[in-house]
Chain A
Amino acid sequence: MPMSKNPLPGRPDTVYYFPTCLVDLFYPEAGMAGIELLKRAGTTVVMPGQQSCCGQPARNCGYYEEARSVARAQLAAFPKNWPIVVPSGSCAGMMKTHYPELFKGMPELPQVQAFCDRVFELTWFLVHVMDIKLVDKGEPVRVTWHGSCHSMREMGVVEEPKDLLRSLSNVTLVEADYEKECCGFGGTFSVRLPEISAAMVTDKVNNIVATGATQVVSGDMGCMMNISGAMKKAKAPVKGRHIAEFLLERIGRGDA
């Protein structure tokens, strides 16, 4: 992979990690896998215990003041000038692209902007900053990919995670129909307009199942909670995985 996209002077010795509140509550092992990948790629990971949530749910519903209060707590939790790596394109997108809007016209805007510049999505960071190389030790497997909307459209992360999957010798990546279409999660959308959301995730699951893959991999646990939940309810023979957990399993959890 070319290093040209790395905005940092090189590989950083230390990075911050923002696991996200969803991972903390439901999928801590997926979050831990992201930490492990960063360590394997050669950096020290610091995870401040003072953090919580990026604030996206409130912002998306128009409750800017509440979102701003929560954002302020995150700004305070990452004081050092280290990159902040996020195993979710959606939460990263909130912090990188929407914090400036929340603090528009406020004295702390320059400080907020400096914070935004430090936010990276995990797979993009592994590819472009850490230049990670993976050696596949797993059995042959057929997987498909779900790209999260915010990862692709806010963070510009489209090919990086798929390139990582393709770099694994025993992994066959098959593209599902409508791969880049929203899974129907959309945070509160899924419960505000549950019928439309249900129609979207049902189509998504059908397209995933049609690939014949045994696993669907994504970089966002929000989408995955939706897709996996629907697959489980429909008894679909496909398992949903966060890419960090999947990659770590392929290269071997035990190896340093």
Chain B
Amino acid sequence: MPELSHDFEHAAVKALGNQQLRTNFRRVMTGLMNKRAAQFPDPDELQALRSRGKSIKDRALAKLPDLLVQLEQNLIANGIQVHWAESVDEGNRIILDILRKANAKSLIKGKSMVSEEMHFNHFLEENNIRALESDLGEYIIQLAGEGPSHIVMPAIHKNKGEIGKLFQEKIDGQGYTDDPDELTAAARRVLRQMFANADAGFSGVNFAAADTGSLVLMSNEGNGRMSTHLPSMHIALMGIEKVIERLEDVGPLISLACRSATGQPITTYVNVISGPRKAGEKDGPKEVHLVILDNGRTRIYDDPQLREGLRCIRCAACMNHCPVYTRIGGHAYQYTYPGPIGEILNPQMQGIEKAGDVLHASSLCGRCAEVCPVKIPLVDLIVRLRRESIRPSADAVKGGGSRKSGMENVIWFGWKTMYANPLFYRWGTWWLRKIGNLMPAGLPLLKQWTSVRSKPQFASRSIYDLARERGIRDE
């Protein structure tokens, strides 16, 4: 039996004990759920739009290799340089080379979850390049030396008092305040300076349209946009699954993503980037690069069921609605992506042996799949990965089979023997009724159960006996 990692559980238990954190998350997630619900008053329209979103992403995924080639051709035609990275290390090296070639020493960053996958800021720091996050939430956690706890609102675990103290400590000349406007203004002063001086800008990508060779970005603060067009060079980063077939596909996806994420009809800014500054234009970067990262996605893509997870448009509705995430927050999930989508992606990207314990962080309640705007069957995928963790199918998932457990095998063999055979079932349940109530509450499993619950009482008679007595037919 392999030694199971308890990182997730330990972190989760620690988070559960932090009442402030739980209150913060509960309040914000409830607000987000209500805002989303208000955006979709008509259930038929919602279902029609979800079906449309799913079909757009399915169509793109069905043609993924061809669309990536088409995207590259059209990006190049537009003057955007394209780079392919199979691994996180390769992605980091490519970007470092681009920066070194341009003699760039500083980078202003728009928000990008893929860069979190690559631990990009840390990598740049090691290579003496200063990267500054321009998304307010990302800026806050960068100052705090933390990772994002939510994929859309990365600093949501911090309240304004905590942010006030952080700014006082980390920003020169900044006194304490918990006024959100003053805090925002303080961040703005630091960031504006960087926007003016940074050698390069950086961003993620929400959608990449193959037919026009355009990169589409959604943001609310405007800092994402400034990160892409103020510095003389813009480097964008995306996973291979971000490509869509046509620019016109973007409309429904934006509508779904924004309404599902923050309950907005649309984000304040939607940028469509189709190339560097052209001759005669007065602004815009002179150089635009796109780095396209695999990092395990091709392996996910190769399995028809697991591929469904690649439809994700990173709206975070699954975590906003997750009763587990709501109580423990995002950091407990240990790896880049928290919540239900993280339960799918982290074990596949990191390997089940490393990140597989999170697969059990779900009661399988199904709320995530119910709200997913592109209909990812998150619960079915979690169960599938649980299966891969113990009985792998071919080579579908990294670390498949690494959670095999001899003891669990014995338990389930016993269970099957009892429940697949009517005679054994009668006999087994007869014994449970006789002796079940004598089991001490300190037994394994029962101990966990009775931590907050009374011991369930076995009934003295079977329903089949009662039914026979009361004349119910058995045939």
Contacts from A to B (Cβ < 8 Å): 17, 19, 21, 23-29, 31-32, 35, 44-53, 55, 57-66, 69-70, 72-73, 77, 101, 149-150, 153-154, 180-182, 184-203, 225-226, 229-230, 232-234
Contact = CB atoms under 8 A, between A and B. Distances in A.
B412 A61 contact: yes
Contacts of A70: 415-416, 419-420
Interface stretch (B109-117, B239-247, B339-347, B425-433): B425-433
Q: Which of B391, B432, B445, B472 has the most CB of A within 10 A?
A: B472
B305 to A, nearest CB: 10
Interface string B444-455: 010011111111
A67 B336 CA distance: 33
Contacts of B52: none
Contact of A69 (B362, B416, B450, B461): B416
B12 A195 contact: yes
Contact of A191 (B324, B445, B473): B445
Given A181-B323, A193-B9, A194-B449, 9 more contacts: A26-B456, A35-B472, A49-B474, A52-B419, A65-B391, A189-B363, A196-B324, A196-B328, A200-B363
Contacts of A153: 365-367, 369-370
B390 interface: yes
B403 to A, nearest CB: 9
B12 to A, nearest CB: 6
B2 to A, nearest CB: 15
B366 A189 contact: no
A155 B464 CA distance: 26
B458 A25 contact: yes
A182 B367 contact: yes
A196 B456 contact: no
B327 A200 contact: yes
B219 interface: no
20 contacts: A19-B463, A26-B457, A28-B461, A28-B462, A49-B422, A49-B464, A52-B422, A59-B383, A61-B412, A62-B391, A77-B422, A149-B366, A184-B323, A184-B363, A189-B364, A193-B360, A229-B453, A230-B452, A233-B454, A234-B452
B361 interface: yes
Interface in B305-329: 323-324, 327-328
Contacts of A31: 463
A65 B429 CA distance: 22
Contact of B425 (A52, A57, A198): A52
B409 to A, nearest CB: 8
B389 interface: yes
Given A77-B422, A195-B13, A196-B324, A28 B466 contact: yes
Given A53-B419, A63-B412, A181-B323, A232 B448 contact: no
A47 B474 contact: yes
A50 B473 contact: no
A195 B422 contact: no
A202 B466 contact: no
Nearest to B326: A181
A-B pairs with the 8 shortest C-beta distances? A186-B363, A229-B453, A62-B387, A62-B386, A182-B365, A194-B448, A28-B463, A153-B366
B453 A226 contact: yes
Interface string B381-393: 0011011111100
Interface residues of B, number: 68
A254 to B, nearest CB: 13
Nearest to B463: A28
B470 interface: yes
Contacts of B389: 62
Nearest to A90: B364
B421 interface: yes
Contacts of A59: 383
Contact of B415 (A66, A203, A229): A66
Nearest to A19: B463
B429 A186 contact: no
B456 A229 contact: yes
B454 A229 contact: yes
A62 B472 CA distance: 36
B444 to A, nearest CB: 8
A21 B9 CA distance: 30
A37 to B, nearest CB: 13
Given A46-B473, A60-B364, A186-B363, A73 B421 contact: yes
Contacts of A229: 449, 453-456
Contacts of A23: 463
Contact of B449 (A58, A69, A190): A190
A202 to B, nearest CB: 6
B306 to A, nearest CB: 14
A47 B467 contact: yes
A55 B86 CA distance: 41
Nearest to B459: A28
A59 B390 CA distance: 12
A96 to B, nearest CB: 14
B323 A21 contact: no
A154 B366 contact: yes
Nearest to B366: A153
B16 interface: yes
A108 to B, nearest CB: 15
A185 B452 CA distance: 12
Given A26-B458, A32-B466, A149-B367, A58 B416 contact: yes
B470 A32 contact: yes
Contact of A193 (B12, B390, B458, B470): B12
Contacts of A46: 472-475
